[in-house]
Amino acid sequence: MSKWWTMPLRAITLEFPASDVATIDVKGIVRESIQGAINTLCVFAIGYYPGGTSYYQSKIAPHYPGLGTRDLLQEVIEAGHQNNQKVIAYVASIWGNAEMYREHPDWAQRKANGDVTSWDEQYNSVAMCPNSPYHDHLASIVREIGENYDVDGFYFDEASFQSWCACQYCQEKFRRDTGEDLPREEKWDDPVFQRFISWRYEQITRWREELYNVAKRDHRCVFFQGAFPLAELSRSFGRVSGIQFENPYQARFGVEWHVPLAHGTCLAETARIGDIVHFELYRRAVREPLWWYSVALKYGQSIARGKRLLTLNMMAQTPFDLHGLPEAELQISIAEILANGGDPLFARYYPDRVDKPAWDRVYSILKEMSSLEPYLTHRRSIPYVAILYSQTTADIMDQDIHRTSHLGCLKGFAKALLKSHILFDVLSEEALEETIQDYKVLILPNVACLSEKNKGIIRRFISNGGGVVASFESGRYDEKGRLISQEDLSDIFGIEYDANVPQWFGFDVYSRLLNDGEFVVEEYQDRPIPTGGIQVEVLPKEAKVVARVIGSATVHYGPLNEDTGLPAILINQPYGKGRVVFFAFPIGNRYLEFGVPAHRELIAKAVLWTAQDEPPIQLENAPQTLSLTAYRQHTQDGECEIYHLVNSLYDEPINAIEEVTPSKWVKLVVKGSKEPKKVTSLTHYMNLEWEFHQGVLTIRIPPITYHHVVLVEY
């Protein structure tokens, strides 16, 4: 049996809870999906509201009200299979209805204060705990579907904690597993609380493994929700016309943690378990700009290890889910997903009363994109720069709002590289050892907590000639969040720490580049560059200081004080080969927060200086809005390279992107190239002008509105 899920997917989910199940024209909806070259249908078998109700004739789960004798799961299977589409049973994994809650109040997940997580006051959807007997209830439903329906897979949504959970089963199990009482308060530096956090991950990982085993058959693709990677839930949705809206999603948890942590979902473990990886990237809910897709999906590629990365994309103008997004946002979000190794998935929340023109647009874009299919498999991102994402640091450090976040620093670095058109990937801590040698530069964006092992890998990488760009507190703590003065990375940074805690110097603080001849950013020589005030106090040992902090003014517009002598940027060559740039202030966070161009240029300069080699692919005459990703593909026909250019780098975190400005003619320059046989545009079905001279391939690309995919065949 072929593993059909290893091929590019174009998927939709038919969400039935808001439809009229008595009258819905399932066949018609499935027939229409052919317009979008949809090859995978996720169909609601078990829904979230009322919790745990079925859209098929279940003998175990209560039927969705009004279902009558219909079996929507069977109807979709028949209609989909007639079209050669794969049909996946969608299972909302943790929700029970009011009846279940009344009969088994002990099955419900509990917040730290004992409250249940319910969608409404009538308990129509209550989160149930996988450590309770609910576990067996759900498994029996999965068996029922698996044995009676010809489904091609299972999609387990929200198989997670949607609360603290402090239910009696979790309390008992935690005590059995650890000998401790289950904590009820956030204490990030407390070993028992840290054990609780890792224990939550373990519970969900184990449950997902069990669900996988119950559901898996050779021909079935089984996967799990991966909600909001590299993003945080914010408490407030903001004010609308004077009314303060709370984020209902955040209220479920009663905590303000980053999402995978709140869910108890280790995304890397989930990627290991499932046949494909699923990411949910609703940027509006987590207030992220569209380019967050690219950063999240690059991380996804690192944990997916070649598995496909099905990406749930926003379709509607959330929270107005009946009203579709404008064409520009749909075009560039789909292009961004494909450009970063993802496959698009859209949810039809109101399948029988959708915004027809918007869906027609989605279908027509997907149909057009289906021609890219041969170029979306067996490809590897062309390596140049790697950014390390440390879940350990995000879990331990980023939950404390008084600390400078790792995630913010990472996004700032990523944004600077995107806007500078410098190729990069995001690596997980687990992937570091296996992949780092492929890259010229490793960026440590305030990666405070690092294991001894990963520090060793970083040292080896530099001693082999690799470059490192690090900022702020990188490497000062172990993987438990303990400050360690002996085995930090100060030896490779060539510095000595002068204080244990980063110092706040006031807001109006600048640094000045010293003209040392080696690390020069022409445009900013002799110009004050903001540092943003906070930094680690360091003294140079082997390192050379290339920028120093100027004393801050006592008041804004007041006279600046004397040069403090404190280093802001240092460079080092610890083993005589590899180069290091160390930013004592959190330059990534500052760039993310303020967008100061000097910070972007300093980051780009640091990367190029430590790489000791030009980027393999460069853009000329390209606007900063253009993102670049590049892949190498080996097929039976030979070798080729594929470049995606997407006009997607806009900072709007809330509103939809309604219009983009087309680029001018862009030049794409490939260094160290062989002479190609052919250069074509895969999106515009044309040959492109190119020239080849002394190992340098130059391609001219006509103005880009949304995106352009270039194929170079050798």
In the complex, which residues of this chain contact Zn ion (CB under 5 A)?
129, 131, 165, 167, 170
Distance CA(37)–CA(174), nearest Å, equals 48
Distance CA(609)–CA(587), nearest Å, equals 17
- Shortest gap between Cβ of 278 and Zn ion (angstroms)? 24
| 165 vs 259, beta carbon nearer Zn ion | 165
- Shortest gap between Cβ of 174 and Zn ion (angstroms)? 9
Distance CA(625)–CA(647), nearest Å, equals 5
- Shortest gap between Cβ of 684 and Zn ion (angstroms)? 54
Return left, alpha or beta for 134; rule: phi > 0 is left, psi -120 to 50 is alpha, else beta: alpha
**Coil, strand, or helix at residue 580?**
strand
- Shortest gap between Cβ of 154 and Zn ion (angstroms)? 23
Take residue 260 and report the two structure tokens written for it. 């995978």
| 130 vs 494, beta carbon nearer Zn ion | 130
Take residue 696 and report the two structure tokens written for it. 């340098």
Distance CA(590)–CA(599), nearest Å, equals 8
- Shortest gap between Cβ of 201 and Zn ion (angstroms)? 14
| 165 vs 267, beta carbon nearer Zn ion | 165
- Shortest gap between Cβ of 158 and Zn ion (angstroms)? 15
- Shortest gap between Cβ of 163 and Zn ion (angstroms)? 8
- Shortest gap between Cβ of 171 and Zn ion (angstroms)? 8
Take residue 298 and report the two structure tokens written for it. 């690059």
Partnered with residue 512 across adjacent β-strands are: 548
In one-letter notation, the amino acid at residue 679 is: V
Cβ neighbours, 10 Å, residue 113: 9
Crossing angle (nearest 10°) for helices 191-215 and 168-178 = 110
Take residue 100 and report the two structure tokens written for it. 């279940």
| 134 vs 461, beta carbon nearer Zn ion | 134
- Shortest gap between Cβ of 165 and Zn ion (angstroms)? 3
Cα–Cα distances (Å) from 77 to 40, 81, 148, in that order, read 11, 6, 12
- Extended beta strands in 573-706, E state: 580-583, 617-620, 626-635, 638-647, 666-670, 678-681, 686-687, 689-693, 696-701
Distance CA(164)–CA(112), nearest Å, equals 6
- Extended beta strands in 340-407, E state: 342-348, 379-381, 385-389
Find the distance separating the first CA and the last CA of the chain, reported in whole Å.
Answer: 33
| 108 vs 688, beta carbon nearer Zn ion | 108
Cα–Cα distances (Å) from 153 to 11, 64, 89, 214, in that order, read 13, 22, 6, 12
Say which residues have a Cβ less than 8 Å from residue 243's Cβ, sequence separation at least 6.
Answer: none
| 18 vs 255, beta carbon nearer Zn ion | 255
- Shortest gap between Cβ of 13 and Zn ion (angstroms)? 27
| 175 vs 378, beta carbon nearer Zn ion | 175
| 170 vs 606, beta carbon nearer Zn ion | 170
| 183 vs 578, beta carbon nearer Zn ion | 183
- Shortest gap between Cβ of 122 and Zn ion (angstroms)? 22
Take residue 24 and report the two structure tokens written for it. 């819905």
Partnered with residue 649 across adjacent β-strands are: none
| 170 vs 297, beta carbon nearer Zn ion | 170
Take residue 377 and report the two structure tokens written for it. 């498999």
| 169 vs 363, beta carbon nearer Zn ion | 169
